[in-house]
C-alpha cells in the first residue's frame, strides 16, 4: 500500500482475493490490480489475476511473489510479474506506465 501511495496513486486495499473481486464489482475506477500470488483465502493471486483478465479486460495486472516464479505462459495477458525482493523503482515505473 505504501509503495503504491508514495508513487502518487490512490490505493484500495483488499485483505484477500474474494474481497478484491467484491471491490472490482462495486467500483468502475480501478485501473490496476497489484497482487501477491500467495494470498489468504481460497483464491490465490494467480486465480485473482485470471478472473480480472476474464471479467475486467481493461484492468492492468501486476503480480509479485517471493516464493513462486510462474512461467510466462501461465501469466494472464498483459500482466507484469516481479519476483521478491523487487526494486521499488521498477514497480513504480511499471505502475506509472500502466496508469497513463
Question: One digit per residue, pLDDT tens: the chain, 100 residues?
Answer: 899 998 889 999 999 999 999 999 999 999 999 999 999 888 999 999 999 999 999 999 999 999 889 999 999 999 999 999 999 999 999 999 997 5
CB crowding 43-61: b at 16 or more within 10 Å, else e: bbbbebbbbbbeebeebbb
C-alpha cell at 45: 493471486
pTM of this structure? 0.92
Amino acid at each position: 500500500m505504501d509503495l503504491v501511495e508514495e508513487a502518487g496513486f490512490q490505493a484500495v486495499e483488499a485483505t484477500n482475493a474474494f474481497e478484491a473481486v467484491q471491490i472490482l464489482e462495486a467500483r468502475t475506477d480501478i485501473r490496476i490490480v497489484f497482487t501477491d500470488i500467495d494470498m489468504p483465502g481460497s483464491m490465490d493471486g494467480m486465480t485473482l489475476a485470471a478472473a480480472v483478465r476474464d471479467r475486467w479486460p481493461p484492468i492492468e495486472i501486476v503480480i509479485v511473489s517471493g516464493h513462486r516464479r510462474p512461467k510466462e505462459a501461465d501469466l494472464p495477458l498483459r500482466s507484469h510479474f516481479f519476483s521478491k525482493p523487487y526494486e521499488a523503482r521498477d514497480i513504480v515505473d511499471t505502475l506509472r506506465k500502466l496508469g497513463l
